């Protein structure tokens, strides 16, 4: 297998527990697990580029991405558009889809999960994702260490 050059993650249900918290003023808050972020930083330190790709567009995710220093932040990606966005990134980097690791949890992640070299999901992903024949199912749930677990596995490749 080619060495992983790009590590990508979904947000809701993967980097977070999938819960969305709203203030009375309509502000959205999300809970992120600090060890997931550290896993991504460790990957970066080992030379792997990291990114977040999500269908949502929120300042909360932008702030988290900035804090982590991600190489790619793709927000507002159409339901069926994650794969085309990642193909464009691969073209820019001069890498293949086989050199990409991705972790996602829901039906809008299936096309991308099916196209990357290493695919994973949190243990509480939707049934359609859990049923993918090549998927690595993490021992942890989304927002509770699944991304860190996957990052640690990816660093070993």
Cβ contact 139:149 at 8 Å: yes
Asked if 15 and 32 count as a contact pair (C-beta separation under 8 A), the reply is yes
Cα–Cα distance between 12 and 141 in angstroms, integer? 12
The pLDDT tens digits for 6-65 are 999 999 999 999 998 888 998 889 999 999 999 999 999 999 999 999 999 999 999 999
Q: Give the residue from 93, 94, 127, 90 showing the smallest Cα distance to 110.
A: 127
Q: What is the pLDDT of residue 27?
A: 85
What does the pLDDT read at residue 2?
55
Given this model, what pLDDT does residue 54 score?
Answer: 95
Which 3 state secondary structure label does DSSP give 148? helix
2: tokens are: 């080619």
Residues 65-75 have pLDDT tens digits of 999 999 999 99
Q: What is the pLDDT of residues 87-116, one digit of tens each?
A: 999 999 999 999 999 999 999 999 999 999
pLDDT above 80: residue 157: no
**Separation CA 99–CA 116 (nearest Å):** 7
Are 148 and 41 contacting, i.e. CB atoms less than 8 angstroms apart? no
Concatenate the DSSP letters of all residues of 59-95 into one string: HHHHHHHHHHT-SEEE-S--TT-HHHHHHHHHHHHT-
What is the domain partition of the chain in residue ranges? 6-155
The class level of CATH for 6-155 reads: alpha beta
How many residues does the structure list for the chain? 157
- Give how far Cα 51 sits from Cα of 106, 131, 152, 154, Å: 18, 25, 16, 14
pLDDT at 155: 82
Overall average pLDDT of the 116-141 stretch: 98
pTM score: 0.94
End-to-end CA distance of the chain: 8
What's the half-sphere exposure (Cβ side, CA atoms, 13 Å) at 121? 24
């Amino acid at each position: 297998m080619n060495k992983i050059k790009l590590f990508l993650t979904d947000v809701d249900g993967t980097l977070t527990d999938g819960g969305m918290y709203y203030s009375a003023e309509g502000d959205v808050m999300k809970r992120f697990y600090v060890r997931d972020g550290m896993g991504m930083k460790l990957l970066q330190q080992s030379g792997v580029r990291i990114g977040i790709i999500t269908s949502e567009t929120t300042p909360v995710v932008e702030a988290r991405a900035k804090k982590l220093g991600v190489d790619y932040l793709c927000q507002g990606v159409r339901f069926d558009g994650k794969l085309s966005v990642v193909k464009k990134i691969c073209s820019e980097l001069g890498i293949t889809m086989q050199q990409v690791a991705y972790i996602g949890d829901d039906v809008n992640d299936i096309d991308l999960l099916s196209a990357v070299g290493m695919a994973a999901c949190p243990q509480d992903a939707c049934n359609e994702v859990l049923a993918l024949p090549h998927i690595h199912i993490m021992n942890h749930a989304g927002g509770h260490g699944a991304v860190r677990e996957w990052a640690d596995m990816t660093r070993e490749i």
